[in-house]
Amino acid sequence: MDFQKIKEFFGSERVTELLASGWFFPAVIVGVILFGTMLLGGGRDDNKEPFTGNSLVAGRTYYIWVGEIAVYDVDWSNRAWDSNGTGPDLYYELYSGNSMVFSSDVRTDTLVARWTPVGIDYMDELTTMLAGGKGKSSFEEFIQAGLFKATVDGEVGLRMKDNDFIDSTWAGLWGLPFEALHEGENVFTAEYSAPVYGGGDSGLEVQTNGNAVQSVVVYVIPADGMVDYLKLQLMQKHGGY
């Protein structure tokens, strides 16, 4: 902190004017709030925005979730999503190898589905917890995301589906290599394609997956930075500065 600058500031004409005008104390309060925001959000040595752009590091643990999936008008077999004329009921699953590690809520009748990393049921409790109070549940229970340990040539399996009792259909089966992801927001787009059949003993199984997903927004945050990330989100939502 540069105390000479602070002294100059208090001695400056502008502050004297402020003092005279009666606006000094409101200005100080705004200043304190802004300074507090800087401390909370930027407690790092560099001036980089946190959680943007850094490549993933092998061996480090990350929270990964999907913020948005947008699908094409028809499912990957070129048929209407639902026979009753409604849009698809979208959800996604995250896989680590052959193991499903996260399954999202279903978003009903929509071509664009969105999710947040904290379920709405937990929002109040999370706010209390971040403000220093003790919550009823552990922090990890709040987080609607998969936990992954990044590897050099591994990937995140992303299975996107229309959830129907009878005519369930795939929207997309994607693999997102850790190498292709970075910290923060990742946007991927893809062309529409129909599946190619001919696999398996029967020759009727899907050999090459189709794709009815237009775009996906994936978020990646280091597990040990998740508290800071959520604080920033809450401040941006409620503070407006």
Q: Which residues of 9-31 are buried (b: 16+ CB within 10 A; e: fewer)?
A: eeeeeeeeebeeeeeeeeeeeee
Which residue number, 162 or 183, has a Cβ lying nearer to Ca ion? 162
- Measured from each CB, the residue nearest to Ca ion is 86
Which residue number, 8 or 167, has a Cβ lying nearer to Ca ion? 167
Which residue number, 89 or 228, has a Cβ lying nearer to Ca ion? 89
Which residue number, 131 or 166, has a Cβ lying nearer to Ca ion? 166
Amino acid 10 reads F
The owner of tokens 């100080």 is 28
Q: From CA 164, how far away is CA 179, in angstroms rounded?
A: 34
The nearest distance, CB 67 to Ca ion, in angstroms, is: 21
Which residue number, 77 or 86, has a Cβ lying nearer to Ca ion? 86
The nearest distance, CB 85 to Ca ion, in angstroms, is: 9
Residues at the site binding Ca ion, with contacts judged by CB under 5 A: 81-82, 86, 89, 109, 162, 164, 167, 169
The nearest distance, CB 60 to Ca ion, in angstroms, is: 38
Residues 120 and 129: beta-carbon distance below 8 Å: no
The nearest distance, CB 79 to Ca ion, in angstroms, is: 8
Q: How is residue 50 written in tokens?
A: 């946190």
The nearest distance, CB 83 to Ca ion, in angstroms, is: 7
